[in-house]
Amino acid sequence: MSGRETLIKVCKLIPLIALTFSFMSVMQEQDAHADILVGADLNGAFQLGEVSSDSLGLGANLRLGWQEDFIPVLRLAPELQVNYMGFAIESVGSGATDTAQNSRQRLLSARAGARVGFDFLVGGSLYSHIGYGFVDTQGTWAFKDNDGLSFDAGIAIDFTAIPFVNLGLHAGYNALFPGSNPDADPINWLDIGAHVELVF
């Protein structure tokens, strides 16, 4: 990747960086009833649609946010998320070379979103995030060094009986829309995994 291409990608992230600083400013202004959350997710996944791999994927999320309890059992948790997912590309169509059979697809996204749900020893929540994502593929495949809109939505179950620590399970839908070709199919995948949150 040339220096000019790198600069273009950095410039595309400026709005998200500005959103991050705004997010952090709001966090600092939260009252004593708001709790800061730092979360980590470990995910397994499989792809959907026309643009897909037959292999299972493995990835992780890092999350930073805060939760506000509007009533004793209802909570809203705005957050920022960095998502990574990797797939092995086992089949790229007829005539594929041997080296392509061993290629890897890596997806990296930065997203902003929120969780809303209930919290009473065992809690449940719905979540969604939207942001910008990058695709990197080693070998020959449809999307190489591409980027575009990134989105996810899902459901989570949390076990909150342990002070300052939430443990849970989650499942969600993810999509990344490569921007260089508006007619291209999005990269879609479903993930399922476990997560841990530290509450301050």
Q: Which of 28-32, 104-108, 182-186 has the highest mean pLDDT?
A: 104-108
pLDDT (tens digit per residue) in 81-95: 999 999 987 654 544
Which helix or strand (DSSP H or E) is residue 192 part of? strand 187-199
User: Given a cut of 60, is residue 105 above it in pLDDT?
Assistant: yes
Taking phi first (over 0 means left), then psi (-120 to 50 degrees means alpha), and beta for anything else, what does residue 98 get? alpha
CA 62 vs. chain centroid, Å, equals: 8
State whether the Cα torsion 122-40-170-148 is positive or negative.
positive
* Alpha helices (H) along the chain: 3-12, 14-28, 98-101
Residue 4: predicted pLDDT: 58
* The pair of three-digit structure tokens given for residue 152, joined into one six-digit string: 């996810």
What's the pLDDT tens digit per position in 29-88?
544 457 899 999 999 999 987 766 777 899 999 999 998 877 778 889 999 999 999 998
What are the CA-CA distances from residue 73 to residues 118, 156, 159, 190 (Å)? 5, 16, 14, 29
Distance CA 130, CA 124 (A): 21
Contact predicate 68/37, CB 8 Å: no
Over residues 97-123, mean pLDDT: 79
Q: Does domain 3-199 have CATH number 3.40.50.300?
A: no
Residues 6 or more apart whose CB falls under 8 angstroms from that of 147 comprise 9, 12, 132, 133, 134, 135, 178, 179
Mean pLDDT to the nearest integer, 119-124: 83
Is the entire prediction scored with pTM above 0.75?
Answer: yes
Q: What are the extents of the domains in the chain?
A: 3-199
The share of the chain scoring above pLDDT 90, in percent, equals: 44
What average pLDDT is seen over the chain? 80
Residue (of 191, 194, 196, 187) closest to 58 by Cα position? 191
